[in-house]
Amino acid sequence: MGLRQEVTRARWTLLVQFSLFGVLGTSWMSRLPSIRSELGLSAGQLGSLLVVGGVGTLLAVLVTGAVVARFGSRRTLVAATAGNAVGFGVLAVATATASVPLFALGACVNGMCGALTNIPINISAAGVERAVGRAILPHFHAAFSVGAALGALVGAAFAWSGAHVAVQLVVVTAVVTLVRALLVVPSTMLAPAHGRATSDGATSRRGSGVRAALAAWREPRTLLVGLVLLAASLSEGSAGTWLSLAVVDGFAAREAVGAVAYGTFVASMTAVRLAGTGLIDRWGRVTVLRVSGFAGLAGLLLFGLAPTLSLAWVGVVLWGCGAALANPIAISAASDEPVHAAPRVAVATSFSTVSMLAAPPLLGLLADQVGVRSALLVICGAVVLSLAVAGQVRPPRDAPVTSRDPLTST
- DSSP, residue by residue, 171-182: HHHHHHHHHHHH
Read off the pLDDT of each residue in 8-34 and give the average, rounded to a whole number. Answer: 88
| Distant-in-sequence contacts of 51-54, Cβ < 8 A, 24+ apart | 51/357, 51/361, 52/104, 52/107, 52/108, 52/111, 53/107, 53/108, 53/110, 53/111, 53/114, 54/111, 54/353, 54/356, 54/357
When pLDDT is cut at 50, 70 and 90, the band that residue 212 belongs to is low
In DSSP terms, 197 is beta-bridged to: 203
Ordered by start, the domain boundaries in the chain are 1-195, 207-394
pLDDT, position 295 = 97
| Burial environment of residue 202 by CB neighbours within 10 A (0 to 12, 13 to 18, 19 or more) | exposed
Residues contacting 351, CB < 8 A, separation 6+: 226, 227, 229, 230, 233
CATH code: domain 1-195 is 1.20.1250.20
Read off the pLDDT of each residue in 320-335 and give the average, rounded to a whole number. Answer: 92
For residue 197, give the DSSP letter: B
Read off the pLDDT of each residue in 22-39 and give the average, rounded to a whole number. Answer: 83
pLDDT, position 13 = 96
When pLDDT is cut at 50, 70 and 90, the band that residue 159 belongs to is confident
Q: With a cut of 70, say whether residue 223 has pLDDT above it.
A: yes
Name the residue with higher pLDDT: 198 or 329: 329
For residue 377, give the DSSP letter: T
CA 201 to chain centre: 32
Provide, for the chain, the percentages of residues in helix, strand and coil under a 3-state DSSP scheme, each rounded to the nearest 5.
Answer: 85, 0, 15
Helix-helix angle 326-334:255-283, to 10 degrees: 40
What is the percent of the chain where pLDDT is above 90?
Answer: 44
Fold of the 207-394 domain: Growth Hormone; Chain: A; (1.20.1250)
C-alpha–C-alpha distance, residues 80 and 59, integer Å = 14
When pLDDT is cut at 50, 70 and 90, the band that residue 201 belongs to is very low
Residues contacting 7, CB < 8 A, separation 6+: 128, 131, 132, 190, 406, 407
pLDDT, position 409 = 36
When pLDDT is cut at 50, 70 and 90, the band that residue 29 belongs to is confident
Q: What global pTM score does this model have?
A: 0.78
Q: With a cut of 90, say whether residue 239 has pLDDT above it.
A: no
Q: With a cut of 80, say whether residue 359 has pLDDT above it.
A: no
pLDDT, position 405 = 39
C-alpha–C-alpha distance, residues 405 and 127, integer Å = 13
pLDDT, position 287 = 96
Q: With a cut of 50, say whether residue 403 has pLDDT above it.
A: no
Nearest to 324 by CA among 145, 85, 168: 145
When pLDDT is cut at 50, 70 and 90, the band that residue 199 belongs to is very low
Name the residue with higher pLDDT: 81 or 66: 81
What string of DSSP letters covers 323-367? HSSHHHHHHHHHTSSGGGHHHHHHHHHHHHHHHHHHHHHHHHHHH
Q: With a cut of 90, say whether residue 323 has pLDDT above it.
A: yes
Nearest to 338 by CA among 172, 129, 81, 157: 129
Determine phi and psi for 19, rounding to 5 degrees: -65, -45
pLDDT, position 101 = 94
Rounded to a whole number of angstroms, the distance between the first and last alpha carbons of the chain is: 17
When pLDDT is cut at 50, 70 and 90, the band that residue 196 belongs to is very low
Q: With a cut of 80, say whether residue 204 has pLDDT above it.
A: no
| Burial environment of residue 12 by CB neighbours within 10 A (0 to 12, 13 to 18, 19 or more) | middle
pLDDT, position 213 = 67
pLDDT, position 208 = 56
Read off the pLDDT of each residue in 336-363 and give the average, rounded to a whole number. Answer: 79
Read off the pLDDT of each residue in 89-118 and give the average, rounded to a whole number. Answer: 93
C-alpha–C-alpha distance, residues 187 and 227, integer Å = 28
Same fold, 1-195 and 207-394: yes
Residues contacting 149, CB < 8 A, separation 6+: 22, 26, 266, 270
Q: Where are the alpha helices (DSSP H) in 217-340?
A: 220-251, 255-283, 285-305, 309-323, 326-334
For residue 262, give the DSSP letter: H
When pLDDT is cut at 50, 70 and 90, the band that residue 396 belongs to is confident
Please name the amino acid found at residue 37. S
When pLDDT is cut at 50, 70 and 90, the band that residue 214 belongs to is confident
